[in-house]
Structure 1
Amino acid sequence: MKENKSKVSSKSTKSSKKSKANNSSNDYTIICIDGGGTKTHGVLFIGDEKKAEYKAGTTRIGSVGVGESCERTLNVILELCKSVNISTSDVDVFVVGLAGVWLESEKRRSLNLIKTLARNDGYVINDLLVTSDVEIAFEGAFGAGEGIVTIVGTGSIGLARFGKNKFARCGGWGIELDDEGSGAWVGREGLTAVMRAIDGRSPYTILVEKLQEIIPTFDISEPRTIVKAFNERVFEYQSITPLVMECAEEGDLVCQNIIERAAHHLAELPLALLKNFSSKKPVKLALMGGIIDNDTLLSKMLYEELAKHPELECIPCKGNAIDGAKQMGLSIISELNKD
């Protein structure tokens, strides 16, 4: 677990011009991007109205590298502008939350590269904020309040805000190191269970049969064929997760055990963050991410696990990551108009 007391965003130098939104609270253009582990979601707002939306593949730096991440992010920006026939210079603020960035140096690196790529292609990016996808999600969930958010999607992470805008995180180290309980982790555990079952090291699981249905090249008589398919990116860990849950719901004990362990690991995230709060009242906890939003078996088991801990109070999110990015953008516009 790691605490970050510094300001949690990297922002480009303020433009010398005032935002064109200074005369009206609804006269602004903001592009918000939520760059997650599986997909990237971009929205262009003009005033309070959503004018354009665009979805692309992952911009997670750990998956595609910083260069590709920034190129994909810029492409989302350009597609959004193109769809409403405006120039990038017409946008007041760009707010980008990327999976795989946390340190200020990481945020500055991505920010500078996005602006350099845009400039090299003849585009103007004025006020740009690059931060973590977790931070825009937290802003969407809580606004200005204290609490803990646990995000469960391709990855998993907990983030707490407490005191005078202090932050602490738990988990979120990537599937290469951790991300226990996440979509990618569940899928990887499922694959491990399949390999163990084929070897005879563990009980049989019907996940073996379901994998054969979605991976035609997987031949159980030649188990190495699944390794070949994985190396050729025929599938990814998180694509196996729905099958693991399906098997668990059908009574497969091996897969049920995986989901139960996932729920336990996910509950550890907010519990580990509780020590940052001095109040004796229950700490508010919001759950977010694809695993939660889709009302999966894992989300149900997680809520059951959390119900055992009265020191946590589960609350609904005020909004999503895009809502959080928009609010950050409005704050930047407000600051610009004070100058």
Structure 2
Amino acid sequence: MWRAFAQGSGAYCGKNPRRGLCLMAAHPTILALDGGGTHTRAVVIAPDATVMAQATGPGCNPFDRPEWAENLRHLLAQMPRTTLQSAVLGMAGYDAARPSSAQQEQVARAALGPNVRLWLENDVETAHRAAFAGQAGVFVLAGTGSVAMAVGANGQTARAGGWGWLLGDEGGGYWIGRKALGYATRYLDDPSVPFAAFAQALLLSLNLPTTGPTAPDALREWLRTRTHPRSAVGDVAATVHTLAQNKETYAIALLRAAGGHLAELAHATAKQVSNLPPSPLPLAWSYGGSVMHNPVVLQTVTSLLGTKPHPATLPPIGGAVLKAAELAGWHSDATWICQLARNLTHGKAIA
């Protein structure tokens, strides 16, 4: 979906390759991208912090998206690039030492051209910068996967988690969905299990039968026919959330277990950058991702860390905006950051 914002004093003209219209800003711009495992968002920003254009698309993590390059290429192609000075892409699965990351850089460079100042980083780095505006703290990110990052008072950094769905990602949406579906498979093997009601609710949420000889194969076929199985399993976490709201004890227990894993990630990073006692957490902490917005998970993590979370300064993509502004030589003071926060959250699209 292509959407453009036209606010502020900029003048616009040009063509959209699909509809014969394009968007061209009369002033310099920067591009920021937040690419998770399931969803990706890109924005173009003007010097007054106005959101000039934005686009959203599927995830672009090369570790579990065979089509990641096309997803990234297609998203960047939708953005106006004529006046870009810099671009920062925060992407799941990125690490400068990995061969796949060199491919990410190549795709981005080909899409944006040779003259744009380009910076790629892991999406948790982007989210951390957004939450703390470059200051010290611990950031816990739990969407489909899970990872934490700490920055100490001296600038030292540490990360924990981010191992992917086959090796880790405990506490993330996929982990929750996989554990929940494990209850369903055990119930289908033995309907007398004490968590039968929980398993039945999960199966019904997927429009699958809960009894009868076809029920086991129906679940197998559901998984086989998903376009992106990891995301589909991760989406089951939303059902667990709903069931927890309805006081389903097994759903609540599962979310508490997720919170426990996420708190462990926070502690693991904090102790690498601080010599202070681990409890309460010696650094300010913040969070992002759909799982961390679950009240059971958030309450569990808060309790285990022993201190309330720091409100994020910007939404995650804002961290990429701040870095892109730095690369472009823009001045981003507290007033500019506050305006950016409002625009990223409340900007209105025009057709």
TM-score band (shorter)?
A: 0.7 to 0.9
What SS class does the counterpart of residue 92 from structure 1 fall into?
A: strand
Indicate yes or no: 2:184 matched with 1:194.
Answer: yes
In the other structure, the counterpart of 2:349 is none
What SS class does the counterpart of residue 181 from structure 1 fall into?
A: coil
2:200 to 185, 209, 219: 209
Q: CA deviation at 1:164?
A: 4.2
Indicate yes or no: 2:147 matched with 1:157.
Answer: yes
Q: 2:153, 2:125 → 1: CA distance?
A: 16
Q: CA deviation at 1:173?
A: 0.7
Q: 1:318, 1:225 → 2: CA distance?
A: 45
Q: CA deviation at 1:254?
A: 2.3
2:255 to 250, 259, 262: 259
Contact 1:181/1:265 (<8 A) preserved: yes
In the other structure, the counterpart of 2:62 is 61
* Residues 76-115 of structure 1 aligned to structure 2 (within 5 Å): 76-81=75-80, 88-105=81-98, 106-115=100-109
Q: 1:271, 1:171 → 2: CA distance?
A: 11
Indicate yes or no: 2:138 matched with 1:141.
Answer: no
In the other structure, the counterpart of 2:275 is 278
Q: 1:32, 1:215 → 2: CA distance?
A: 35
In the other structure, the counterpart of 1:240 is 236
Q: CA deviation at 1:42?
A: 0.9
In the other structure, the counterpart of 2:289 is 289
Q: 1:246, 1:64 → 2: CA distance?
A: 28
What SS class does the counterpart of residue 300 from structure 1 fall into?
A: helix
In the other structure, the counterpart of 2:327 is 332
Aligned residue identity for 1:315: H
Percent of counterpart pairs with the same letter? Answer: 23
Aligned residue identity for 1:278: N
| 1:241-282 deviation per Cα after TM superposition (whole angstroms, max 9, x unaligned) | 121122233333322221121111111111122322135693
Unaligned runs of 5+ in 1: 1-25, 82-87
Unaligned runs of 5+ in 2: 1-25, 331-351
Pairs aligned (count): 293
> In angstroms, what is the RMSD of aligned CA positions?
2.5
In the other structure, the counterpart of 1:9 is none
Q: 1:212, 1:274 → 2: CA distance?
A: 39
Contact 1:218/1:229 (<8 A) preserved: no
Contact 1:148/1:284 (<8 A) preserved: yes
Aligned residue identity for 2:95: W
Aligned residue identity for 1:232: T
Aligned residue identity for 2:158: A
* Residues 22-41 of structure 1 aligned to structure 2 (within 5 Å): 28-41=28-41
Q: 1:161, 1:125 → 2: CA distance?
A: 31
Q: 1:134, 1:250 → 2: CA distance?
A: 32
Q: 1:267, 1:109 → 2: CA distance?
A: 33
Q: 2:252, 2:43 → 1: CA distance?
A: 37
Q: 1:125, 1:226 → 2: CA distance?
A: 50
Q: 2:123, 2:291 → 1: CA distance?
A: 16
Q: 1:46, 1:74 → 2: CA distance?
A: 22
Contact 2:256/2:296 (<8 A) preserved: no
Q: 1:207, 1:125 → 2: CA distance?
A: 55
| 1:171-199 deviation per Cα after TM superposition (whole angstroms, max 9, x unaligned) | 11111111111111111110001111222
Q: 1:291, 1:216 → 2: CA distance?
A: 23
1:249–1:210: structure 2 CA closer, same or farther, 3 Å change rule? Answer: same
1:64–1:196: structure 2 CA closer, same or farther, 3 Å change rule? Answer: same
1:296–1:55: structure 2 CA closer, same or farther, 3 Å change rule? Answer: farther
Indicate yes or no: 2:326 matched with 1:320.
Answer: no
Contact 1:185/1:238 (<8 A) preserved: yes
What SS class does the counterpart of residue 121 from structure 2 fall into?
A: strand
2:220 to 215, 221, 227: 227
Contact 1:44/1:53 (<8 A) preserved: yes
Q: CA deviation at 1:74?
A: 2.3
Q: 1:233, 1:36 → 2: CA distance?
A: 19
